[in-house]
Amino acid sequence: MVSPDDSATTKLANGKLICLLSGLLLLVPTLTWAVNHSGHTSAAQSTGLPGDLLLFPDVTVIGRFDQGPQHRLAESQIIPAINVFYTADYGRFRFLGEWLVSTKTHNLERFQLGLHLEESSLWLGRFHNPIGYWNMQFHHGGFLQDTISRPGIMAFETAGGIIPNHLTGFLWEGIRQFDEAGLYYTVGVGAGPQYNRGLEAFNLVEPGGSHHPGVSFRLGYQPVSYGVDEFGISGAYNQIHSDAPAYEQVEQFVATAYANKQFNSLRLTSEVVYVNNQLDGRLGGKASGDFVNAYAQLEWAFHPDWTLIGRAEGTMGDHNDPYLALFPTYVQDRLLGGMRYNVTHNTAVKLELSQEHLRDDRFGQVMFQWSAVFP
């Protein structure tokens, strides 16, 4: 229940957030203009900072139609957002931070302090969970991904996602070089999310709640190291404290296999995810379930600035799954078509049409997004 005072405070906080966001969105074009007129482009020289500062602003417009009578999601939404990323090296040490502000959420997404160890790095802090390919590859940099939406299985915790996207603890990652090829490896151990009407990752700014440990790894073969093509596997084990009325804890195992391949102007991104959950009831009983999700996305860059995109997602074995019942907005199946146009080398517009299938609803969705990266 929200009291009138709470409501007023929330409105005030939202107002301040929107003002801040508008200010940042206005600052961005000014900064870009200054950078493009400075003779040569340099993140460090344009900002006067020793590291690399990246600003990822975007504005997303969503329209939904043919929703069922229970109507869980808004029919239309406009969501401006800005993701501020900064990284810097100090000898063998590295800092990396990422802060996301939007009208829906604001969070310190990543805050990592790292130590270089030959070919690898050891990180301490809040980081992207290395589960799956999509989660680490794109995350909040909207401009970096060709689609607007993420696959349902990789949805963010704040957007009703079912797999922990963030861990807070230690991350070890590196690439072992074999001539041209590379073997990417990473292991993460740390505090995972808790469940409270959705997954809530550990919040560094407002720590609290009950966050149990999680561990995950990813191993990927890159035919050309640091290239686009990668084939690999990942796995995770999470203990999730639950505030749901029926369950007090969830034990979750996740295993994935992925393949990404570029054939000239075609690019395939695909992944299969197996999820097994054991739920401990408050009255001593147990429930369990498992399901498999798969997605495949094909992109065709038929012109240097135009890309046509298609994606199919599906979940099998999800019928009456007790864990999925806790996530009413999880997209179980989706058929998507879209287009991306690069307006300039650092700004893009995207359009997406999709048919979404939730647990007990099926509707159409249209999305439009302007996104950019500066400087």
Partner 1 sequence: MKIMRGLCVFALLALLGMQSLWAINRQSLVLATSSASSLSPLTVQEARKLFLGVPLDKSGEHPVPLLNISDPLIYEVFLQKVAFMSASTYESQMLSVVFRLGGKRPESFNDLKNLLDTLQQNPGTVTFLWEDQVKASQGLKSVNVLWQGSVE
114 vs 188 by CB, closer to partner 1: 114
Q: Is the dihedral of CA 157, 162, 168, 174 positive or negative?
A: negative
Whose Cβ is closer to partner 1: residue 287's or residue 349's? Answer: 349
Q: Which is nearer to partner 1, 75 or 180 (CB)?
A: 180
Work out whether 343 is an interface residue with partner 1 (CB under 8 A). no
The residue within the footprint of partner 1, chosen from 23, 29, 68, 227 (CB under 8 A), is 227
Q: Which of 101, 136, 254, 331 binds partner 1 (CB under 8 A)?
A: 136
Encoded tokens for 125: 């802090």
Q: How many residues does the chain have?
A: 375
Q: Which stretch binds partner 1 (CB under 8 A): 45-53, 160-168, 206-214, 272-280?
A: 45-53
Q: Which of residues 257-316 bind partner 1 (CB under 8 A)?
A: 262, 301, 304
Measured CA to CA, the distance from residue 300 to residue 261 in angstroms comes to 12
Of 10, 42, 288, 344, which lies in the binding site for partner 1, with binding defined by CB under 8 A? 42
- Asked whether the CA dihedral 6, 8, 13, 14 is positive or negative, the reply is positive
SS3 category, 56: strand
Q: Give the separation between CA 21 and CA 103, rounded to whole angstroms.
A: 8
Q: Which residue has the tokens 């704040």?
A: 158
- Cβ 173 to partner 1, closest distance in Å? 7
User: Rounded to the nearest whole angstrom, what is the least distance from the CB of residue 236 to partner 1 in the complex?
Assistant: 18
Bridge-partner residues for 236, per DSSP?
A: 216, 254
Site for partner 1 in 161-200 (CB under 8 A): 173, 177, 179-180
Instruction: Tell me: does residue 96 bind partner 1 (CB under 8 A).
Output: yes
State which residue, 14 or 38, has the beta carbon closest to partner 1: 38
Task: State yes or no: residue 33 binds partner 1 (CB under 8 A).
Answer: no
For the stretch 269-273, contacts whose Cβ atoms lie closer than 8 Å and that sit 24 or more positions apart, written own/partner, are: 269/133, 269/134, 269/296, 269/297, 269/299, 270/294, 270/295, 270/296, 270/297, 271/132, 271/133, 271/134, 271/151, 271/153, 271/295, 273/132, 273/153, 273/163
Nearer to partner 1, 65 or 93 (CB): 93
Work out whether 36 is an interface residue with partner 1 (CB under 8 A). no
- Bridge-based pairing of strands 266-281 and 93-102 is unpaired
* Of 96 and 326, CB closest to partner 1: 96
Which residues of the shown chain bind partner 1 in the complex (CB under 8 A)? 39-45, 51-52, 54, 85, 87-89, 94-96, 112, 114, 116, 118, 121, 136-137, 139, 141, 144, 173, 177, 179-180, 224-228, 262, 301, 304, 342, 345, 373
